Amino acid sequence: MTGRESVPFRVVTADGETIELSYSSPRPAAEHDERALLEQTPWFEAGKPLRNYMLHETDFYDEVEQIWGRRWGAEGIGRLREVLVSRPSENEIRPEYAEEWQYYYSAAAGNADLGKLQAQFDEYYDVLRANGVRVNSVEAPVPAIGTYGYIKNLVTLAGAGLVVRGGVIMHRYGLGSWQRGREVIWAKAFAALQLPVYLTIHGRGICEPGAGRWLDSKTFVFNESVVANEEGLRQLQFVLEGLGIELIVAHSPGWFDSIGGGNIGTSHMDMVLMVPGERIAVLSPHLVNYGFVRELLRRDFRIVEVPVEEYWDLAVNGVTLEPGKVVINKGSPTVVTALEQAGVEVIQVDFSESQKFAIAGLHCATLELVRDQLD
């Protein structure tokens, strides 16, 4: 947002509360010449109405950087430029989570150590910065309490939305009622960043696409399991098709009376698939339908299979920094060797403490905001 001017404004509620905000103006007031600008504008002609039909022919994405401040969009696997994260707080270590660990989709091992948890997240953020990624951060409210009790997983920013070609598709949650309420926090963070919201999944729709995966900049993969239903996927597809993006729907098993220590079913697509380079797929085939395996082969992907015994190292939940370079959870020696043999540079971060408060890895902790577009 170089050369922009931050202009303060405020909202005053009917109850008299004042909320201070700012607008990122693309044209600093001291340098602005309205008449000179009009003369350069194609739909202006002196003495005549604005040529509105020209506005109807402009693409939102072509204007998003000037109007909204950034060319938002993290589709594909091009070089990662900007993210949004949230450092762990007391919100993630409440005793109820350990007592009812299946309900909270947590771990039977008990609560995480907050200091160790924060240190591991900080190490990950340092890796991102060292690789040229701009790291924005949300400091969530403490305590965070929603309609259905404590709000949990405020660090899993992939659960905020899917940022694609100029804007974000916001989630309506299906994994847990303890997620609901997070969307209010995320929406305010998006407004502060001037990130436009394309759609919030609504009605009877359930969909959490921010934890999906890109095969390339025009092909997005998400599954149903417990994190999407047919109506939510329909709403997601409506937006993506309008942006010229193909949606592939995969199918992963969920659970019912028990999560079996995390070993029954799975949730998001980033728990079973990672694309670390062009036409390379790290895949846990035991947790996805075989039709998707055939789709990858049809598209000429090289599949790096995750052994069942390495699945809970969560290497598959890593983040592609650029084609041929990934940061993953420490572990999974078989997967790491296969990736290196395929020419992929692998950076490992110890993220083990994260799995004590939530079944979550590095990608879960990251909302990707901006990527280079290879095409």
Q: Residue 194, Cα to own-chain centre: how many angstroms?
A: 16
Strand partners, 7: 23
* Structural contact between residues 336 and 346, judged by C-beta atoms closer than 8 angstroms: yes
pLDDT number for residue 356:
76
Each domain of the chain, given as residue ranges in start order, spans 5-58, 80-371
* Structural contact between residues 100 and 107, judged by C-beta atoms closer than 8 angstroms: no
- CATH superfamily placement of domain 80-371: L-arginine/glycine Amidinotransferase; Chain A (3.75.10.10)
Per-block average pLDDT, block size 10, for the chain (375 residues)?
Answer: 86 97 94 96 96 96 95 97 97 91 84 92 98 97 96 95 98 96 97 97 98 97 96 98 97 92 89 97 97 98 96 94 97 96 97 81 96 84
Q: How does DSSP assign 69-130, residue by residue? A: SS--B--SSS-EEEEEE----GGG--HHHHHTTTTTT--TT-PPPHHHHHHHHHHHHHHHHH
pLDDT number for residue 325:
98
* Structural contact between residues 310 and 342, judged by C-beta atoms closer than 8 angstroms: no
CA distances from 102 to 44, 71, 105, 110, 152 (A): 62, 40, 5, 11, 13
Strand partners, 82: 134, 370
pLDDT number for residue 2:
63
